[in-house]
């Protein structure tokens, strides 16, 4: 992805001029690598079932971007996705 923004209960993902909102409840797995985070989605959207990105501290749209080092981003997402998934199941 070119850009990924944290919007609370969802992520705004952008690539090549297209964008999509991804609810945290639709994420089934988070894989953290050295400089990349890959999200696996329940169902593929505009960008498929896997969304990969490197956390950024810049926000050209004025939305709230991720502002943590990569490990904290992944840990925060894992916790929030688990909570969102629990709500989806009930």
pLDDT confidence of residue 55: 74
- Does a structural domain hold residue 51? yes
Check: CB of residue 11 under 8 Å from CB of residue 1: no
CA 57/CA 48 separation, integer angstroms: 25
Burial class (CB in 10 A: 0-12, 13-18, 19+), 77: buried
- Does a structural domain hold residue 54? yes
**Stretch 54-66: mean pLDDT, rounded?**
52
Q: What is the pTM of this model?
A: 0.68
DSSP reduced 3-state for 60: coil
State the total domains in the chain.
1
CATH number at residue 59: 2.30.29
- Does a structural domain hold residue 90? no
Instruction: Name the strand (E) or helix (H) holding 4.
Output: strand 3-6
pLDDT confidence of residue 71: 64
- Residue-range definition of the domain harbouring residue 12: 3-85
């Amino acid at each position: 992805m070119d850009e990924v923004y944290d919007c609370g209960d969802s992520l705004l993902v952008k690539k090549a001029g297209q964008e999509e909102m991804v609810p945290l409840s639709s994420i089934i797995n988070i894989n953290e690598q050295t400089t990349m985070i890959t999200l696996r989605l329940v169902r593929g959207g505009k960008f498929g079932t896997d969304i990969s990105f490197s956390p950024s501290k810049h926000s050209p749209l004025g939305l709230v971007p991720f502002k943590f080092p990569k490990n904290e981003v992944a840990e925060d997402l894992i916790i929030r996705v688990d909570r969102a998934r629990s709500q989806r199941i009930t």
